[in-house]
Structure 1
Amino acid sequence: MARLNLLEETRFEKLPVSVFKNPKEASISVAHRIAKIIQDRQLNNQHAVLGLATGATPIAVYAELVRLHKEEGLSFKNVVTFNLDEYFPMGPTAAQSYVYFMKEHLFDHIDIPAENIHIPDGTLKLEDIPAFCLAYEKKIEEVGGLDMQILGIGRTGHIGFNEPGSAPNSGTRLVTLDDLTRRDAARDFGGKSNVPTKAITMGIGTIFKAREIVLMAWNQKKAPIIKKAVEGEMSSEVPATYLQLSDNVEFILDEDAASLLTRFDTPWLVKDCIWTEKLTRKAVIWLANKLGKPILKLTEDDFNNNGMAQLALEKGPVYNINIHIFNKLQHTITGWPGGKPNADDTQRPERANPAKKRVVIFSPHPDDDVISMGGTFIRLVDQGHDVHVAYQTSGNTAVWDDDALRFVEFNIDFAEKMGLEQSEMKRIYDDMRQFMEQKHPNQVDTPEIQTVKGLVRKGEAIAGARYCGLTDDQIHFMALPFYESGKNQKNPVTEEDVLQTMELLQKIKPHQIFAAGDFEDPHGTHIVCFNIILEAIKRLQKTESWVNDCWLWLYRGAWLEFETHEIEMAVPLSPQEVERKKFAIFKHQSQKDRAVFPGDDAREFWQRAEDRNRETAKSYDDLGMADYEAMEAFVRYKF
């Protein structure tokens, strides 16, 4: 019976999928599968032949293999490896090369013989590539073929660098990279313009010959393409869908990457559900959006014809369900994000008391506060709350070189006009210019340049916070140590990051904390900053009584917005407040026109924020709520 139930749940899935709680558990599982292959081959005095991938996805797998080698004696002397791909052109010592990556994360830490390592050569002449690719295929055959091929998946659906349009029988070859693939790699290269346009990759046909194929994917960013790969029709537009043809493939996902699969996203379509309040709300909003109807106009037939007959039967009549969800959604809307004084707060998202709250807005980058919740920020100040903003990082990697030079030039000219000593400033300026003229992509800036760029963003943040109504003693610059590596790859979080955050919280003793809950930012900074806040709060809970009266609200907006069914507080903005928010964002001049790390969205940050806030308001309007100009959305994090 359990087997039949599982088959029913997964009936939309066209290949085997295993879902783990988090990437760490999944990675350990894959690493142990690899270790077993190696050990089984050792018992038979045979080579274990592995197809390896690069990128963020397999890093934890390699870390566990290294641990197994160092702590449990797993030997790699019988292992032969073939990497999937390499950029072209690309030197092996370049920080972005996959030779460098594999050495850093695996090969330099295990006992694999150097002659057993094979990675496509990014230094070849163009005319030599076809012969190299044929030889690469032949080497795989000569050692008996791949025992296991591990894969990641790109957001174009590419496996290896087999981009849309690749044939299912393709072999190792030179390919042209998709624009989205190059945008995703931009962070590693210091900008998309520095990303190679071509790569050498194993073909889909080569991958298919492996005796086992394991595709791994983590986080919500991969969820849309995973749904297409697992449940979509086979198409050259999504090369990973060709894996549906293999009998030897398995997708290993964490919960976030699997979140859009039917059995998790809309489970009522594949099984009987336990209709919790949260699931009921999600289903009713989904149905209203699917049919283009306000919630209060949904009918019994609408429920029955769209997989929700069980809900209608258990919780009905349907109209009562509609009214209940409508009221719950209505109650998320408030013009008082700090709580409405002297009001009945039983149906409001925030408490009425204390009437004047101490508030901390944590901003991972110096502009996340105004981009993501600028309207609410201004509203909290206008309504008399004691609002503080804490900029967790300097954001100094996201300033253009020429902007940094411009500010130093201003200082030199200012010193000259005022008759001040300027020789030292001129020396620093000359050093900066010389460095920038010879600077390589993603090369770490000199300390002086890092300082100038950090000060550029600090000045902009001060201007934005002042515009929102704060005084200077309410503006805090943390410059958390984890960020200050001077490069896109940040340092590990340390005790100092947590202690600084605890110190600030102890000083303010807030009733409300607002923190970035948008973990799709291409820097990866938001999730790191959130985890630091969370650790600080958990420690303070043990000794500080005020923490029990502190609520943590998550905001989004710069990269992704909350789904309507997730929203627990929606703050409507008038047209005038939308304008005020926009002017607060404008204070961040270094991020206007063209940001260093814009992500996928070509719009400027103020445009993204404005459009998303209007889209949130429209989503409420479509469901039958009042028609507001714009809305900022929040979700409360429960400890």
Structure 2
Amino acid sequence: MKVEIHETPDAIGAHLADRIVAGIRAANAGDRAYVLGCPGGRSPLPVYRALESRLAKEPVDCSQLIVVMMDEYLSADDAGGFAPPSASAHYSCRGFGEREIVGRINRGLPDEFRIPHQNFWMPDIAAPEDYDARIVAAGGIDLFLLASGAGDGHIAFNPPGSSRESGTRIVALAEQTRRDNLATFPEFTDISEVPSHGVTIGIGSIAEQSKAVAMIVWGEGKRHAFYRLTAAGAYDASWPATIAVECRNAELLADAAAAGQWGAR
């Protein structure tokens, strides 16, 4: 896996925004969709902010851009099943995607260049396995932005111990994943408020359906994640984010704070 060290999170964001815009332009020239895999949370925010700034200054037709979200929280419902939160909930992955990804990209674009509603994809909790087939039918994911949990290496909501071959499914969230998300969503005041389940794209889905991946780690709190990712030679189920090393055209982009002494080599 190629490793790039950037001075700041904003530098990572600018680098990846340029790459994504170039990919959208190339896809448009070939009259095809550009499929972008997107996590929620803090790690990719510099990318989404940079895309907003870049496209506001130089609009590009994003009407064929497909945003593929990774996961969503679920809570038990009265019928004994699960239900996602309202998009207005502070922790909703759908709400995050609508505001921080589609909303930012569309904000500075003319109407005819904007991402249409139907090009914002979320896994369906009624048939999560259908998500993988839908992605395959779209030609796969051109670039999947990835992030690693700081405490347990979860990727999307895949907990430690997840099978290398796992597909999109409903999972119980690991306790450490839920604790990590107390920092991601500071409006949670206690772990009891963090949902216990989620629907998530699978480990195998990420590896098999991505043409390229960019793992983003920044901040001193991600230094151990950086170490685990750079030390991995293959998928290690004890740190699920290591699936990145088995993906096609994989890159790890870190800032100086996350890379620590590695970046001084």
Q: Calculate the TM-score normalised by the size of structure 2.
A: 0.86
Deviation track 1:6-31 (CA, whole Å, cap 9, x = no partner) reads: xxxxxxxxx21000011111110011
Tell me whether 1:138 sits opposite 2:137 in the alignment.
no
Partner residue in 2 for 1:115: 118
Partner residue in 1 for 2:16: 30
Partner residue in 2 for 1:83: 69
Q: In the alignment, is the contact (CA less than 8 A) between 1:69 and 1:75 conserved in 2?
A: no
Partner residue in 2 for 1:94: 89
Partner residue in 2 for 1:297: none
Partner Cα distance (1:25, 1:88) in 2: 34
Q: Calculate the TM-score normalised by the size of structure 1.
A: 0.37
Q: In the alignment, is the contact (CA less than 8 A) between 1:68 and 1:74 conserved in 2?
A: no
Partner residue in 1 for 2:98: 103
Structure 1 runs not aligned, ≥5 long: 1-14, 268-639
* Aligned partner letter, 1:175: V
Partner Cα distance (1:149, 1:103) in 2: 18
SS in 2 for 1:82: strand
Partner residue in 2 for 1:249: 250
Partner residue in 2 for 1:217: 217
**Runs of 4+ that moved beyond 3 A:** none
* Aligned partner letter, 1:224: H
SS in 2 for 1:256: helix
Matches within 5 A, 1:232-631: 232=232, 234=234, 235-259=236-260, 261=262, 264=264, 267=265
Q: In the alignment, is the contact (CA less than 8 A) between 1:31 and 1:64 conserved in 2?
A: yes
SS in 2 for 1:18: strand
Q: Over aligned residues, Cα RMSD in angstroms?
A: 1.6
Partner Cα distance (1:188, 1:154) in 2: 19
The 1:116/1:230 distance shift into structure 2, 3 A limit, reads same
Partner residue in 2 for 1:18: 4
Between Structure 1 and Structure 2, the one with more helix by share is 1
Deviation track 1:12-60 (CA, whole Å, cap 9, x = no partner) reads: xxx2100001111111001111111100000111110111111011112
Between Structure 1 and Structure 2, the one with more strand by share is 2
Instruction: Report the Cα offset of residue 260 of structure 1.
Output: 5.1
Structure 2 runs not aligned, ≥5 long: 76-84, 107-113
SS in 2 for 1:167: coil
Instruction: Report the Cα offset of residue 163 of structure 1.
Output: 1.4
Instruction: Kindly tell me the number of residue pairs found equivalent between the two proteins.
Output: 242
Q: In the alignment, is the contact (CA less than 8 A) between 1:17 and 1:252 conserved in 2?
A: yes
Partner residue in 2 for 1:284: none
Q: In the alignment, is the contact (CA less than 8 A) between 1:229 and 1:240 conserved in 2?
A: yes
**Larger radius of gyration, structure 1 or 2?**
1
Deviation track 1:518-552 (CA, whole Å, cap 9, x = no partner) reads: xxxxxxxxxxxxxxxxxxxxxxxxxxxxxxxxxxx
Tell me whether 1:227 sits opposite 2:227 in the alignment.
yes
Partner residue in 2 for 1:337: none
Deviation track 1:331-364 (CA, whole Å, cap 9, x = no partner) reads: xxxxxxxxxxxxxxxxxxxxxxxxxxxxxxxxxx
Instruction: Report the Cα offset of residue 233 of structure 1.
Output: 5.7
Q: In the alignment, is the contact (CA less than 8 A) between 2:210 and 2:248 conserved in 1?
A: no
SS in 2 for 1:51: strand
**More relative contact order, 1 or 2 (CA 8 Å, 6+ apart):** 2
Partner Cα distance (1:47, 1:244) in 2: 26
SS in 2 for 1:189: coil
Tell me whether 1:171 sits opposite 2:146 in the alignment.
no
Partner residue in 2 for 1:181: 177
